[in-house]
Amino acid sequence: MKKKLMIWLFAIIFLLISALAIMFYLNNDQKPKTLQASQYPSPPAETPIEKITTNIIHDESKWTTNNTHDAEIIKVNDWYYTFSTDYKVAGTPLPGIQIRKSKDMINWMFVGRVFDNVSYEAKAWTNGGSTYWAPDVVEINGTFYLYYSVSELGTRNSYIGLATSASIEGPWDDQGSVIKTKEGDSFTVNAIDPGIIIDKDGTPWMAYGSYFGGIFVTEINKATGKLKNTDKEGTLIAQRQNNDFAIEGPAIMYNPDTDMYYLTVSYGWLEDTYNVRVARSESIQGPYLDYNGKNMIDISDESFDTGTKLVSSYAFNNDSGWLGTGHNGLLQDGDNYYLTHNARAGDDLYWSHLHVREIIWTEDGWPVVSPERYAGKPINSVESLKTEKIVGQWEQIVLSRIDDSMATSTTLHLYKNGKIDDENGEDYWELKGDTLSLYWYAPGDAPNDYWVDTVTVLPQWDWENWQPTLVFTGLSQDGTAVWGKRLPTEEKK
């Protein structure tokens, strides 16, 4: 009798343990999980960072990201450096090129300037050009090559020069002109906005130009840092229909995973409608095609809709937003890619800041950028993101390819049953890993009756609400950039 009782007791204990184990498994592996604090970026500062801080106007040591324009970025050892056009809100800028550095691309310190005055040669050529524009810097064989622009505003009287240094912080030796253009010469290019790229074979190239003639790319002599063919402007790789449609600020990056070159340019006016577009090519000399297969040298009546938009003026809720989000730089840091650009405060466009954004690559090899500024990587792995509960209220921003005015957010509700906005509607969403697909019902219009937005979900810092959050970024079926951000108060459904 005692033996049978013991057997029954062991059986009951075994069943209880099995039931508890099953419950534990269901609770921890099949139900959505919430990311831990260490799986989000840390706060970028102790308190929210103000866009407008008038008390720092005359104190460069406190400028941080303020007064930055046309910044290009380079990593040297453990430091990130930006070189930018000298700009100052409520004051006259100096002639030099501003240098900043950072250990994390979040907290920036002002280093100083390259040069005190524009060279006699550059000033004479440009009829008195008094400031440097849009620099870029690259390291070749242990020497830093700094390319800069000087121009007479509104003309092709322009000058790209070169300075060299053994140290990224200088001092710099001016090496004179790389290329000069003049109204009435045999060139069509405007010699401004140099962007240097080392191709996959180790050869340096310079992309440059503006809406005066378009964007060109030309090979650089590795020994001198100047043009290989001094009497030629290079190959045309991007242009607009006419001077009423601005294009400038070229940069090129190479992605070895796709074996493609990516050209970024800026459209619009620098104070408000500035926006960054991208196209790609198998060859550094083009042709560069956008997401929809349009050639960037198209000058037809449809040329206003070339280039796949990466970032443009935008505003989330609880914020005045950002204007003039253009003239970008590009950085590959190991397996990670980043984009820098100008951004002017929505409530006072004269306050221009440096923004850094993480680049995410789509499954078909297109770059998109985070809707939030870079605030660092999470401390721990975000594997649990695959089962993150994304149900609830989100803000969504669609960056129109055609309309470059400020894009504002709308509310997006993701229901537990997989529906969007209406629990009984036809729009629905699916999550696979970190890829979120949004299906928009359009019978008779869309392929298979649904337009599809394909976006990547990732943990980021919410600068507008000053807390960690989830965001998404990607492209619609027609190549329109789509951003999203989960709202602070998640609605349970």
Tokens representing 27?
């609770």
Computed on alpha carbons and rounded to an integer, the radius of gyration of the chain in Å comes to: 26
Q: What value, to the nearest 5°, has the Cα angle with vertex 270 and ends 146 and 124?
A: 50
Q: Write the burial class of residue 332 (CB in 10 Å: 0-12 exposed, 13-18 middle, 19+ buried).
A: middle
Question: Active site includes 70?
Answer: yes
Q: 27 Cβ partners below 8 Å, 6+ apart?
A: none
Tens digits of pLDDT across the chain (493 residues):
455 545 555 555 555 544 444 444 334 433 334 678 888 999 999 999 999 999 999 999 999 999 999 999 999 999 999 999 999 998 888 889 999 999 999 999 999 999 999 999 999 999 999 999 999 999 999 999 999 999 999 999 999 999 999 999 999 999 999 999 999 999 999 999 999 999 999 999 999 999 999 999 999 999 999 999 999 999 999 999 888 899 999 999 999 999 999 999 999 999 999 999 999 999 999 999 999 999 999 988 777 789 999 999 999 999 999 999 999 999 999 999 999 999 999 999 999 999 999 999 999 999 999 999 999 998 876 665 554 578 999 999 999 999 999 999 999 999 999 999 999 999 999 999 899 999 999 999 999 999 999 999 999 999 999 999 999 999 999 999 999 999 986 444 4
Residues found in the chain? 493
Chain center to CA of 242: 26
The phi, psi pair for 202, rounded to 5°, reads 90, 10
Beta strands in 370-466 (DSSP E): 392-399, 407-408, 410-414, 428-432, 435-441, 450-462
Tokens representing 28?
């921890």
Chain center to CA of 126: 32
Residue 142 identity (one-letter amino acid) = G
Contact, 467 vs 456, CB < 8 A?
no
How far, CA to CA in Å, does 23 sit from each of 10, 34, 383? Answer: 20, 18, 22
Annotated active-site residue in 72, 86, 248, 290: 248
Question: Active site includes 259?
Answer: no
Q: Write the burial class of residue 34 (CB in 10 Å: 0-12 exposed, 13-18 middle, 19+ buried).
A: exposed
Helix (H) or strand (E) holding 23: helix 2-25
Contact, 352 vs 51, CB < 8 A?
no
Could you give the domains of the chain? 37-41+381-486 (2.40.128.10), 61-369 (2.115.10.20)
Q: What value, to the nearest 5°, has the Cα angle with vertex 244 and ends 186 and 127?
A: 50
Query: What pairs with residue 341 in β-bridges?
Result: 355
Give the pLDDT score at 388.
59
Chain center to CA of 415: 30
How far, CA to CA in Å, does 107 sit from each of 53, 102, 471? Answer: 16, 6, 22
Give the pLDDT score at 86.
94
Give the pLDDT score at 437.
97
- pTM given for the model: 0.91
Give the pLDDT score at 489.
66
Closest CA to 480 of 414, 358, 388, 396: 396
Q: 341 Cβ partners below 8 Å, 6+ apart?
A: 71, 276, 311, 325, 326, 327, 328, 329, 355, 357
424 vs 159: CA distance, rounded Å: 62
